[in-house]
Amino acid sequence: MRLSLPLALAATALSSALFGLAYPPYGLRPLAFVCLVPLLLALRSGGPGRALFLAWLWAVLSSWAVATVFPGSIAHYYARPLWFGLLAGMAIFSLMASLYYMVFALVDRVLVRRASLATPLLTAAAWVGVELGRGRLFTGTPFFIGNPWGLMGYTHASGPLAQVASWAGVYGISFALVAVNAGLAGWIAARRDPRRSSRRAAVAAGLAALPAAAIAVSGSVSLAAAPDASETEGFIEVAVVQGNVALGRRWRSDHYGKNLDVYLALTRRALGEGAPRVVVWPEGAMTFFLETEAEYRRTVASVLQEGDVELLAGGPSGDGDTQPPFFNSIFALSPDGSIRARYDKEYLVPFSEYFPLASLDLMQRRLEGARTFHHGAPDPAPVETRLGRVGFLICNEAMLPEVARARVRAGAELLVSPSNDNWIAGQAFAEHMLAVVSLRAIEQRRYLLRASTSGPSAIVDPWGRTAVRTDPFTRSVLLGLVRRESRQTPYARWGDAFAGLCVLAAVAGLAAGRRRFS
């Protein structure tokens, strides 16, 4: 099936738009089963050069569709004009997304030339392979961390289809969705090509739909067997404070520590509305060095003692000093204000929390105080709290499924994700991030507590159901219940074994296709 260049461009743009609409806040999930059909038809309709260009274009457009606020947010974060945000966004999308889908486009062209009943499944396997590369290939390197936002599976981060994540992670969801898309694209192409059997393509499409059907049925059974929301035995009440303090106020030296009054007032409100044993503040809630500021710590303790509560709160640390190296940390404070434990963020965001190109002033934030951080110790042990053994995932760490898995493998009984989201200018990306984080709960079958500066903050149960949440960009208090869990899921034990098998299957299909046409 051949498409003219204008029609191929239109199909690529349509696919990108449908892809974005499948994500929050629109949440038109059924579109995920068809959004790639126009793209696949376009990629297969011309030469390899055109396919590469269309794959690049699709990745950029779909990234904009998922994160429309990204350019403005980058400009705001770095205190630069909008053109800087647009150029930075284009560079990020091209480098951290387009290159992978360009590889997929070339692999897919070889796979479809073989045209077997398994072709849609092999296409889905190839797609999972590039998603795995996006998420894992450069994690921990000096310049990059994994970039697993905007993956197909996050369109179904809750519900029946999402339950497969406890076995195969987000990649299991992506595989099922892409297989359906590939089966439909193959059937449409066969109906327009007299040299191909449309009946055989229909059978292939039917086979490609079986994984999604099986996963949906088993996921429905899993949800039906999940505990009822009214169950309270063994649960612990917790409070989350969402301060919604502006980015500039958090970092200006003349406002050093001043946002503390916001968090203390909201903590008092939480103590008046419930009886939490633990209060959680977001990443960076404290804009002072807690370890050296005895007066601030006494002020915090005076509020904690009112309700005999433990506090988990984010702030900078410097190993007891106000000189570098600095860490982006979460502190566990006893009601008397003593520091019981500290977790230092392990995976930092380049050009934000540290600067690989220190001499490149264009990417330096014009902020005062602790401008750069050092990486925390690798594979930290969970922190003992009243909630149980907590595995912390600070902000972007919750986007990396392997990090959540490492926390659980180390003994974490629940996951807590403090986050700073004030730099995000719109609701769409904030809702998308909540969906991403929620899937960590299903993968590990752990309660997950998200404490965001600007929201949404939420408590997500081990089946991905949001028990309680706040509205974004509000000053709020969230009260809810969590419970310790100890059993490990297949995904916790085996990790991305399924995605690895997909890579092997795609490579085998690629080798078979090349042999046939060599």
φ, ψ for residue 340, nearest 5 deg: -85, -35
Q: Which of 148-157, 322-331, 351-360, 426-435 has the highest average model confidence (pLDDT)?
A: 148-157
Assess whether 329 and 211 both reside in one domain: no
Band of residue 301 on the pLDDT scale cut at 50, 70, 90: very high
- Asked if 125 and 509 count as a contact pair (C-beta separation under 8 A), the reply is yes
Please check whether residues 390 and 442 belong to one and the same domain: yes
Is residue 82 assigned to a domain?
A: yes
In a domain, 489, yes or no: no
Which residue shows structure tokens 């009112």?
A: 306
Burial of 504 from C-beta contacts in 10 A (0-12 / 13-18 / 19+): exposed
Q: Is residue 286 domain-shared with residue 213, that is, in the same domain?
A: no
258 and 369 assigned to the same domain? yes
Tell me the per-residue pLDDT of 235-272, one tens digit each, with 9 for 90 and over: 999 999 999 987 554 445 555 666 899 999 999 999 99
For residue 236, list its beta bridge partners.
Answer: 482
pTM of the model: 0.92
Is residue 498's pLDDT more than 80?
yes
Do 328 and 363 belong to one domain? yes
More confident residue, 105 or 322: 105
What are the tens digits of pLDDT across the range 60-71?
999 888 877 777
- 68 and 47: one domain? yes
Over residues 185-206, mean pLDDT: 88
Res. 141 pLDDT band, cuts 50 70 90: low
Q: Is residue 126 part of a domain?
A: yes
Written as one string, the DSSP assignment of 47-91 is: -HHHHHHHHHHHHHHHHHHH-TTHHHHHHHHTT--HHHHHHHHHH
The per-residue pLDDT for range 85-140, each reduced to its tens digit, is: 778 777 778 777 889 999 999 999 999 987 789 999 999 999 999 999 998 887 76
Distances in whole angstroms, Cα of residue 492 to Cα of each of 24, 176, 345, 411, 442: 27, 20, 21, 11, 11
| Residue 491 falls inside a structural domain | no
| Count of CB atoms situated within 10 Å of the CB of 65 | 22
Lowest mean pLDDT among 247-251, 295-299, 431-435: 247-251
pLDDT at residue number 250: 44
Is 509 part of any domain?
yes
Residue 319 pLDDT > 80: no
Q: For residues 403 and 465, state if they share a domain.
A: yes
Structural domains in the chain (count): 2
pLDDT of residue 96: 79
**388 in the same domain as 416:** yes
Give the chain's mean pLDDT. 88
222 and 241 both lie in a single domain: no
504 plus 442 within the same structural domain: no
Averaged pLDDT for residues 312-324: 80
Mean pLDDT to the nearest integer, 32-38? 98
CATH of the domain at 286: 3.60.110.10
Tell me the per-residue pLDDT of 393-425, one tens digit each, with 9 for 90 and over.
999 999 999 999 999 999 999 999 999 887 676
Q: How many residues does the chain have?
A: 518
> Which positions ≥6 away from 375 have C-beta within 8 Å?
344, 345, 346, 347, 348, 354
Rounded distance, CA 273 to CA 181, Å? 48
334-387 pLDDT, tens digit per residue, is: 999 999 999 999 988 876 777 776 545 444 443 344 567 888 888 889 999 999
- 478 pLDDT exceeds 90? yes
pLDDT for residue 144: 63
Query: Could you tell me which residues come within 8 angstroms of residue 431 by beta carbon, excluding any fewer than 6 positions away?
Result: 24, 25, 456, 472
- Phi and psi torsions of 384, nearest 5°: -75, 125
Mean pLDDT along residues 431-458: 94
* 143 against 201, higher pLDDT: 201
Domain range for 262 is 237-482
Q: What is the pLDDT of residue 367?
A: 37
pLDDT at 254: 56
Separation of alpha carbons 384 and 104, rounded Å: 44
Among 18-32, 36-50, 89-103, 475-489, whose mean pLDDT is lowest?
A: 89-103
Tell me: do 286 and 423 sit in the same domain: yes
- Asked if the structure places residue 347 within a domain, the reply is yes
* pLDDT > 70 fraction of the chain, expressed in percent and rounded: 89
Q: Strand, coil or helix: what is 176? A: helix
pLDDT of residue 56: 95
CA-to-CA dists, residue 199 to 69, 188, 194, 205, angstroms? 44, 11, 12, 10
Same domain? 442 vs 501 = no
| Residue 490 domain-assigned (yes or no) | no
